Structure 1
Amino acid sequence: MGVQILDKLPQLKQEIRKVIVGQEAVLDEVLVAMLAGGHCLLEGVPGLAKTLMVRTLSQALHLSFRRIQFTPDLMPTDIIGTEVLEEDHATGKRFFKFNKGPLFANIILADEINRTPPKTQSALLEAMQEFEVTYAGQTYKLDRPFFILATQNPIEQSGTYPLPEAQLDRFLLYVKIGYPSEQEETAILTGTTGTRQTQVQPVLHAADILQLQQLVREVAVDEELVGYVSRLVRNTRPDTSNITFVKEWVRWGAGPRAGQALILTAKAHALLHGRYAVTMADISAMAYPVLRHRILMNFRAEAEGVFPDKVTETLLQQTERTATRMA
């Protein structure tokens, strides 16, 4: 049964490619986050099909989908839900009934999440971590699978509320979307300005996704690779790192959750590519989206344009050499 479901993954990507041109790495990272059972933050300038990619993914999966447009006046009850006073027509008695908000769906598109105040942003924390929400002392379980894809614009900072580190850490992956190549952009212009309508067919159901998430947990990872991930994450911290570059540019490093995320997403990456054991290539591929929002640069780095991806690149090079010498 597991093998049959794995055979559907290439078909899933093929359905999404009917609409999305290029962005192969981005699509892989989004699917990895879903397979690993985590959430994904997408960052890119307007017009790069962030919202379209999420909507197309929801169409290719037979799951409930809701889009929440985050605005400065959005309140927590607008996404969680609220109690309304209703009347039983048979008895005439009145009672409060909880009306579920848009958060009660399998796939949530949190569009421009950094445009809403921290009070509303924090309403997502319990849902993202515990897969449940609490209202008026009552806890409500969310349907599984539950997958939040949030988008944000990196260039327009006026009227935005940057996500605090604690909430950023709740996102399994931080995915950056770049501009398409010339060939891809030409294909986009040709395919989106005519009369042709593309129909995306659902490939996987909720039970399939849950089984795939369980299969990810069963992917093998060698103890030496686990040790490598541990050294890699510890080397992000200036006080325990043996890498000079980190001590010079990093203010705070990644916590243990980063190591958990890296191993889990490396397993999902291996499974997505038809392998049942993690390789160094899987870890290297997932290190950037796992670490870029978990490494806090110091003021000197910000002033001189040194970003977390550069730290990750250095870590992969130097930690790998250390691991080789110790092997």
Structure 2
Amino acid sequence: MTTHAQIMALKEQMGKTIIGQRDVIDRLVIGLLANGNLLIEGLPGLAKTRAVKAMTKNLEADFSRIQFTPDLLPSDVTGTEVYHQAGGTGEFRFEAGPIFANIVLADEINRAPAKVQAALLEAMEERQVTVAGTTHKMPPLFIVMATQNPIEQEGTYPLPEAQMDRFLMLVKVEYPPVEDEVEVIRLVRAEEHATNAPDGKPQEAAAVIPQQAVFDARAEIGEIHVADAMDRYMADLVQATRTPAALDEELGRWIEIGASPRASLALDKCGRVHAWMAGRDYVDPEDIRAIAPDVLRHRISLSYEAQGDGMSADQVIKRILSLVALP
């Protein structure tokens, strides 16, 4: 089986568990192959956690879930030095925290205070953790997938812009269509029946995709051709968020702060993964336009006027895409 076929098999297996969220599955796989961290945003019960678990179930990877709460401490995430005594002598040994896994689910990340959120920063950006002056490297396959509820304000600590910028994409999970919700009901009913039936036979597990397939895919994605015109198109899109008035007077009123250079880098990474998943060896404008909302929506700050006009970040990005000239 080719590397591309293995990754497509991973998507297919995830789709059997997550009904009606094909775009979410695509974005999770893109984040995995682009070697970036994801922020998954949606209302309760929309299968955010289930989607991440579906990936780890079908991928050869260690999984760790951290439930963020207001009383969480940084050492609860990173680990700490513990004193061990034996034979009359003692020494401090590092006890690794749950951050040391291949796929880390930071559940409801905005429920923990800033010092705990910051404990993730070094791991996310540098792929290492420093405790008591000693640096501990993360495993070669490492990705943080954080979830948050966009409407709750009580007892939450909103992520600062600097930390939001470190997430490769902000993936939004929407309500499923009614037809898909019917399938969700049937799927969960079948799972409960298989679990509770006294003579029920366990379902055969699908073949787990090896970690090496991810590394091989990343190597192939690195060879995807990106034309000079595409580089300029990505830079123009990001520049449009910084000087919106040059494109459109209303955009100038709506955008207060534009995207950082990390947005350009994210467009390049995700665009190449999108092209590779589509079976092409080059990036075209549709690859960039497809992932632009996920890359930009958390990197632009809207003005009070935009909120007063009822404009969302996605609507503003759609307007930018319609105004920036295609290569």
Q: TM-score, normalised by structure 2?
A: 0.94
Matched residues in 2 for 1:202 and 1:59: separation?
Answer: 10
Structure 1, unpaired ranges of 5+: none
Q: 1:170 aligns with which of 166, 170, 177?
A: 166
Report the equivalent of 2:11.
13
Q: 2:266 aligns with which of 254, 261, 285?
A: 261
User: Quick one: which amino acid aligns to residue 295 of structure 2?
Assistant: V
Structure 2, unpaired ranges of 5+: 196-202
* 1:209 Cα offset (Å): 1.3
Report the equivalent of 1:81.
79
3-state SS of paired residue (1:18): helix
3-state SS of paired residue (2:104): strand
The RMSD of aligned alpha carbons is 1.5
* 1:203 Cα offset (Å): 3.2
Q: Larger deviation: 185-194 or 200-209?
A: 200-209
The answer as to 2:113 corresponding to 1:117 is yes
Equivalences for residues 1-327 of structure 1 within 5 A: 4-89=2-87, 92-194=88-190, 195-196=193-194, 200-238=205-243, 241-320=246-325, 323=326
Alpha carbons 1:238, 1:252 under 8 Å: kept: no
Matched residues in 2 for 1:171 and 1:204: separation?
Answer: 25
* 1:210 Cα offset (Å): 1.8
Q: Deviations over 1:197-221 (max 9, x none)?
A: 6565353222221222222222111
1:280/1:78 CA distance change after superposition, 3 Å: same
Alpha carbons 2:238, 2:259 under 8 Å: kept: yes
Runs of 4+ in 1 over 6 A off after TM superposition: none
3-state SS of paired residue (2:320): helix
User: Quick one: which amino acid aligns to residue 141 of structure 1?
Assistant: K
Matched residues in 2 for 1:303 and 1:70: separation?
Answer: 32
Q: Deviations over 1:261-293 (max 9, x none)?
A: 001101011111222111111100000000000
Q: Larger deviation: 140-149 or 205-214?
A: 205-214
User: Quick one: which amino acid aligns to residue 61 of structure 1?
Assistant: L
Q: Larger deviation: 193-202 or 269-278?
A: 193-202
Alpha carbons 2:40, 2:170 under 8 Å: kept: yes
Matched residues in 1 for 2:271 and 2:245: separation?
Answer: 24
Matched residues in 1 for 2:103 and 2:205: separation?
Answer: 16
Q: Percent identity?
A: 42
* 1:225 Cα offset (Å): 1.0
Q: Larger deviation: 171-180 or 303-312?
A: 303-312
